[in-house]
Each structure stands twice: as structure tokens, then as C-alpha cells.
Amino acid sequence: MTADSASARRFERALASLRGLSVGDALGSQFFVPANYPLLKQRALPPGPWQWTDDTEMACSVLAVLAEHGRIDQDALARSFAEHHDFDRGYGPAVNRLLRLVREGGDWRELSSALFKGQGSWGNGSAMRIAPLGAWYADDPEQATHQAEISSYPTHQHREAVVGAMAVAAAASLAAAP
């Protein structure tokens, strides 16, 4: 096996994971649309198209950074998050503000660590975007957890948020293992 073929397989696994994440995300987002409640109560699907959320948007950045660097580069990831930020995708207020400030030239290290009175965000955002990274590292669950930890810090620095991302990455790594 060549390095190129291994990299291509990693990308294919991660892309398959991203596809699954995006469909689940778009379906799940329908549960936050009040007009859909009657259909959902009947266990019927609302008509499409369904909009994906910040979870998919940020997962796309995770995969793009992995494809470009072969690992998580925090600066590239923060930059990608900020460049692709779409206010209407359902980001939490703290991350909306953080990404706007990063886009305006702010340092993600200072901004992210200052969230919530210096505790860092402990929301689920870093866990929700991380499955493609786990699939990328299906051959190395330990590296999946390490890279997930690194990937969390640009937006979520509270230890519970970081560990949540690590757990999802480990599970995705094991699920995608050849």
C-alpha cells in the first residue's frame, strides 16, 4: 500500500462519515421547526429539502483541514470555521460571536479560552462535528482521540466538551475500522 492510496482510503472513509453525519443532521434539524411538529408526531418525514446545521458546516471544515494537512492544524481549522461561518445554520451565540471575531482578525486562542468566564465552551459542538475525523483515523483510534482533542480547542475548551469530542472520535474510528 502506498501513502497516496492510504490517504485516499482515509479520505473516502471520512467522506462517507460526513455524508451520514449531514443526512442525520438535516433530519434532526427538522425537529426544531415548529411547522413540522404535526408530521413528526405522526412519524412522517417533512418534505425536503432539509437544511443542514452548523454541525455539518463545521464537519466539512474538519475534513478539508485533514485533506490538506493530513492532521488537524488548529489555525487552519479556526480559519476555515470562521470563513465558512453562516449565521443561519444554528450556531450557539458564543460561537457565533467567536467566529465573527476570528474572521475580523481576532486570535482564536484568546477568544475561545475566554468564553464562559474563562472556563471555555462546554457545549457539544466539537463532538457533533468530529465523526469524519474518527473515520479518517479508523486505523488508529488513539490518534483519532488525540486529533479530536486538538480540534476541539478553537471553539470548545472546557474539558467536558473536549472529552466528548474524543469519545465520539474514538467511537467513529472503531465503527469505520476496516
- List binding-site positions for Mg(2+): 53-55
DSSP, res 35? G
Grid cell listed for 75: 489555525
Whether 150 and 69 have beta carbons less than 8 Å apart is answered as no
Residue list, annotated binding site: 53-55
In whole angstroms, give the CA distance from residue 61 to residue 73: 11
The C-alpha cell 466539537 sits at 126
Distance of CA 8 to the CA centre of its chain: 21
Neighbours of 161 (CB within 10 A): 22
Whether 100 and 78 have beta carbons less than 8 Å apart is answered as no
| Cβ contacts of 20 within 8 Å, gap of 6 or more | 131
